[in-house]
Structures are given as structure tokens and as C-alpha cells.
Amino acid sequence: MIKIIKNVDIYMPQYIGKKDILIVADKILKVDKDIVIDGVEVEIIDGDGKKALPGFIDSHVHITGGGGEGGYKTRTPEIVLSDIIRGGITTVIGTLGTDGITRSLENLYAKAKALEEEGVTTFIYTGSYRVPPITFTGSIMKDLILIDKVIGVGEIALSDHRSSQPSLDELKRLTADARVAGILSGKAGKVNIHMGDGKAGLDALIEIVETTEIPITQFYPTHVNRNPDLFNQGLEFAKMGGFIDFTTSSDPVFYEEGEVKASIALKICIEKGLEDNVTLTSDGQGSLPKFNDKREFIGLQVGRVTSLYNEVRDAILDGVPIEKAIKFITVNPARILKLKGKGQIKEGYDADIVLVDEDYCINDVISKGNIMMRNKKLEKVGTFE
């Protein structure tokens, strides 16, 4: 069915005024004032008093669950569609994490396909924490070139006691393979790096950039707001032209221990002119384990995809202009990860749109042209919800 969102304030993410949005099938066909379609059935969506934002992109989600740091019973559950929709998320990148044994790439791919069938766009990373990475085909290059949903490698763990402690040469080869495969396939081919609390921080990535021809943009380190030292090093990394990512799922206790709240990190990056090199991700369904000073497991929570927009909203309420705040979860990840047709409200782009009310709360979610949530009530849920 044809849909028209009428009289809505549109953020592309830049503000372009109050206009209409014409949706045909899964695409945005036109953005203009006073759109009228005669002779066919049209569903009108009242946008008065609302703001239209591009559908949110969460490029780091453990869609098949994660964790296990406290034993088998602490393996976190798979994500469900309703959580994704409540978070205003229309594009998800799935990843494995610590556990690349009981969580398989085959399961990750199948879950991504299932979520796609249920109504959101999905991609995945090949690999997990460890090096050499697990793959579908026995080759990073083959995975990227031959498997449609694979757009990069990760999350590879560094500066973390759970890392496989890869050598510099191993990281160079892995990254070089990802780069060439990305070039050949037209994909981003990024290496998504899990950053831990280790003192080395981003040193290995910087050394590779300084001693090889691999560009700094080949890396996509996440959890960079984990502690003040890593955060400050991350800012320098971004100043060098690199991309960095801040995690929105957290716990107030972590803030007391030095983690930089994502909304605050976002604001600092804007003030320093680094807004185009930074994204936010939720680490949804990933475990948030807590270890003591002996690296012994003492507790765990689960990351939530709904935290993604919550942190953006906190930044907006703290004075960050909405068109700047939403870049971190729309146009920035779309550009960095080469997600065509994503991240903007623009003619010819996918009809992924979130409508927020005057309090910046999510009111309606449209994914691939389908209304998934209307007036804060879910219209679609997962198959087994």
C-alpha cells in the first residue's frame, strides 16, 4: 500500500522543515509539501506535532545472545523483534562475541535471516573474539565476497583478558584480507574491534597504521567509552581520521568506576568537531560481566538495544541539537559500513522512519515501508512472541 506521512518535521538528519513523505512499497518515493495521490488507495499517517527521523542503525548486536563468562547458565538469550522495534531500530548488524564455540556463525546467519523476514534489515560480521577468526568458508575473504550478509570481521578482542592475545602480524594479515575482500565485493570490510580495559588500549591499531599501508579507516573499535584513558586515546584516534564507537548499554556502577556515559561522550565529540567519525551501538543481548581486580567473574547483566536511542535522547535533552545527535545512529554508521539506502530520509532511500513526539519519545516506527509500531503500540512482534 501507498503511505503518506503528512505535515511532519523532517530531519534527514539535517532539518528540512515540515513536509510530507510519500512511501511506495519499501522506498521513499518523494519528500515534498502537500503531496496528493489520486485514483489509488492511500494510507495517511498524521505527522502533525511529530518529528521524522531516519530509522536507527545498531551496528553491534548479539542477536543470537552472548556471554557465558559465568558458566553455561549465564549465556544470554537471543534478541526478539519487539525489543528492536521499541528501540526504533530498523537495521541491525549481528555479531558473535566471547563465545564462538556454542554460538556459531551458521546460527548467527539464520537469526539474521529470520529478523529480516520479520521486518528489519540485517547484516552480520564473520569471526568472533579470537584470532585466527572462525569463518563460514575457511577464509575471511571468501566470507566477505561470497556471503551476502557478511559486511566485515569481528568483534576481534584486544586489550582484554578474554582476548586470544593475537600478534601484530596476525592482526595485519586479518585486516589486510578484510580490506581486499571489501574492495572486491563493494562492502565496507571493516574490522570491528572489541576494546577491553587493558593498558595497551588502541596501541596495536595505531602501530599497524604507522607501519603499513593499511588506512586507519579499516578499523572500527567499539566500547571506546569504557574508561577515561581509552576514551581520550579514542578521541586522538578519531582526530587521526579513524572511526570509533561508544557503547550505550551500561550500568550506573560502571559510571562510578570511570566509564564515560555515551550521551556525554557524544556531546564531547561534537564539541571537538569529531561528530562525523563516531557512532553509538547498544551491544544488545551481549553480557555486561563484572570482574574483580583478580579478573574473577562476580556478576552479569544483559545489554539492551533500547539503550541506543535512550542515550541519544539524553544528549538531546542535555542541549545537543537533534540533527547532530541522531547522526551517530543514522547517517554515520550507514556511511562507515556502506549501507546503501540507509541512514537518511531521502528520495530513493529505504522507507525506514521513526516518528518521535514533542518529548522526543518514540511514537511510530516504519521499517522497509511497514508500520511496526503505531502510537507507541507494537503492530508486529516476532514469530514466537
Q: Which residues are catalytic?
A: 283
Distance of CA 249 to the CA centre of its chain: 12
- Residues of 50-59 as b/e, b for ≥16 C-beta within 10 angstroms? bbbbbbbbbb
Containing 250, the helix (H) or strand (E) segment is none
What the block records as the C-alpha cell of 160 is: 582484554
CA atoms of 67 and 90, how far apart (whole Å)? 24
**Over 46-75, what HEC string results?**
ECCCCEEEECEEEEEECCCCCECCCCHHHE
Residue 14 CA to residue 12 CA, distance in Å, equals: 5
| 350: β partners | 27
What residue spans of the chain are helical by DSSP H? 81-86, 105-118, 140-146, 168-185, 203-211, 228-239, 252-256, 262-271, 307-317, 322-325, 331-336
From the list 47, 19, 59, 32, the residue with the least C-alpha distance to 342 is 59
Continuous segment of H or E residues that includes residue 222: strand 219-222
Chain Cα centroid distance, residue 368: 17
From CA 369, how far away is CA 26, in angstroms rounded? 4
